[in-house]
């Protein structure tokens, strides 16, 4: 289960180029809802090593978070998860909707 934190727009663009499908999670370090959602995200990745997971913390990477929102024309929320396949967002959700079961439903 590769899980990697990203910080810069250049890192994200490289992932978009190289990965056929991956999960991206926007995380807030100060929000308890985000903590719970992050735990669900990592639980999913522990059971599904066929997909890579990346995350950013909005406190450390606000420009990257804004870039992603603009790039995909999807309003920023935190916590927020994206399933990206072939460079396009195939599914996304936020807050309490981020559960291991919901991620499985939309990525398997």
pLDDT digits (tens, 9 = 90+) for 78-98: 999 999 999 999 999 999 999
Long-range contacts of 40-47 (CB under 8 A, 24+ apart): 40/98, 40/99, 40/100, 40/103, 41/81, 41/98, 41/100, 41/103, 42/1, 42/3, 43/100, 44/100, 44/103, 44/104, 45/1, 45/3, 46/1, 47/100
The CATH superfamily label for domain 3-107 reads Glutaredoxin (3.40.30.10)
Task: Give per-residue pLDDT as tens, 42-62.
Answer: 999 999 988 999 999 999 999
pTM of the entire predicted model: 0.95
Q: Is the pLDDT of residue 108 over 90?
A: no
């Amino acid at each position: 289960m590769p899980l990697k934190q990203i910080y810069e727009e250049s890192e994200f663009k490289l992932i978009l180029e190289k990965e056929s499908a991956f999960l991206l999670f926007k995380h807030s370090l100060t929000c308890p809802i985000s903590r719970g959602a992050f735990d669900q995200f990592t639980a999913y990745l522990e059971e599904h090593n066929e997909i890579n997971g990346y995350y950013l913390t909005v406190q450390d990477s606000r420009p990257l978070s804004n870039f992603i929102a603009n790039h995909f024309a999807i309003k920023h929320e935190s916590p927020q998860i994206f399933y990206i396949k072939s460079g396009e967002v195939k599914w996304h959700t936020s807050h309490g909707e981020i559960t291991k079961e919901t991620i499985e439903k939309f990525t398997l």
